[in-house]
Amino acid sequence: MDIELKELPKSEVSLKISISPEEMRGYFEQAVKNLAKQANLPGFRKGKAPRSVLESRTGPHHIAHEAMELAVAESYYKAVMKHDLRPVGRPQTDLKHEHDDLEKDGLSFTATVAVMPPVTLGDYKKVSVKPQRSEYSDKQVDEALDQLRKGRAGFAQVTRAAKEGDRVEIDFVGKQGKGKDKAEVPGAKSENHPLVLGQGGFIPGFEEELVGLKTGQVKTFTLTFPKDYHEQSLAGKPVEFTVTMRQVQETKLPELDDDFAKGFGAKSVGDLRKRLAENLKKEKEQEARQKTEQEVVNQVVDRAKVEVPEELVGDELTRMFAEFRQHVERQGIPFDKYLEQSGKTEDDFRKDQRGEAERRVKMSLVLNAIQEKEKIEVSEKRLKEEIATQLAAVPDDKIKERIKGDEFKAYVRRILGNRQAVDKLVEYATG
C-alpha cells in the first residue's frame, strides 16, 4: 500500500492511497467470508457458501463493493496511524463506484480530512493580570435580608390604585405592526399574570406604566425593547401592549426579628446577617475569580496562533444553534414563529455567530495545548468523583446510563483538564 500525504489549508490533509491488486484480492476473500456468514443459502451451512454461489445470488458487484469498503476503511486507518494524524470528523473520499477491475488493477483513492491543528503558544507564562477584587458592603447584606423578607411576604387585596411594591395580576398582550397588519408577538400574551411592581421582571418601562391602575382598568401603551434584548426579533423594536389590571394586593412584610431568622435555620437576626455576609463573600470571590480567569484566558488565546479547522467551527455552530433554539422554545415561543418574526434563517444565525464559534474553538484548542505543554493529566480518582456527582444529581435512568458511557466520560475528562489548565494559567499570571 502506498500513501502520499499533502497538507491543505484550514488544517486539512489529503491522503492519496493506492492499494495493489494482490492486497485487493485479500479484501475480496474477506468480503466473501463476511457475506457468506450473512447469507442463508439452501444446501450450504452459514459461512460455507463459495464465491461463485454468492455471485450468482447477489451479483459480483455486491462482493466488490464489500471488498472496497473493507479496503478503504483499513487503509485509511493505517494511513492515519502511519502519519500520526488526529482526524476531526469523517473523511471525504473521491471513490468511484466501479468495481469491475479492482482485483486486476487495484484501488486508488484520495481521502480528505480535517485534523487537529498544531498550536503555536505565545509566551503564556509572561501574561500578567491583576486579580479582580471581591468586595461587598453592609448595604448588600441589608438588601439580601430584604429579599428574604419579600420571599416570606403576605398579601392583602386593596381597592386603591397600584403602587410600587404591590403584587398585581394582569392580562396583557403585545402586538407589532400597524393597522390591519398588526399581529400578536409570540410569547407576549398572558392572563392572570402575577408580578410585583418595581422588581424589574419585565422590560424597562412596563411596570411603571401599571402604577396608578385600579382593578378592572385597561391601559394601552407602546414600549421599545432594549437593543441588547435576548430575543433578536424584538431587540430595538416597538411593541404595543394592552394591559388589564385584574387584581391589586398590598405587600405585608414580616418583622425582622429572631423568630423570622429561625425560619432560615439561624439562631438570631445577628446570626442570619453573619451567614448572609459569608455567602455574599463567597459569591463575590467566585465572581472576581471568574473575571480574572476570563481576562487571563483571553490574553493567552490572543497570543496563540492556530489554524482553526472548518469542521470544528461547523460543529460548534451546530451546537450553538441547538442551544439557541432550546432557549427560544423554553420561553414558550415556537421556533418557526420566532424565525418568521425575526426575518432570519439558520444560515443567518451561523453567519452572525461564526466569529464567536471560531473564538470558542480556538480557546478549546489552546487550552488543550496548554494541558500537553504542562503535562496536565486528570486523575482517575478525580474523574470518578465528578461522574459520581453528576449521577447523584440526575434521577432519570436513561440519562444515568449516558453519564456512565465512555463518550460522556471523555467529555468530563476534557472539562476537568481545561479547569486544571486555567488554574495553572491564573497561577502564572497572578503569581
Q: Which three cell numbers stand for residue 310?
A: 472548518
pLDDT of res. 19: 93
How far is residue 377's CA from residue 379's CA, in Å, rounded to a whole number? 6
User: In degrees to the nearest 10, what's the CA dihedral of 142, 146, 149, 151?
Assistant: -130
Instruction: Write out the residue limits of the CATH 3.30.70.1050 domain(s) in the chain.
Output: 2-115
Closest to 232 (Cα-Cα) out of 370, 111, 353, 381:
353
Domain 2-115 CATH assignment equals 3.30.70.1050: yes
154-252 is classed in which CATH architecture?
Roll (3.10)
pLDDT of res. 206: 96
41 touches 50 (CB < 8 A): no
Provide block-wise average pLDDT over 10 residues at a time, the chain (431 residues): 90 92 90 72 59 68 84 93 89 75 87 92 94 91 93 93 95 90 88 92 94 97 92 88 97 94 95 96 95 96 93 92 90 83 85 94 94 94 93 86 86 92 96 82
Instruction: Write out the residue limits of the CATH 3.10.50.40 domain(s) in the chain.
Output: 154-252
pLDDT of res. 180: 80
Q: Which three cell numbers stand for residue 111?
A: 481521502
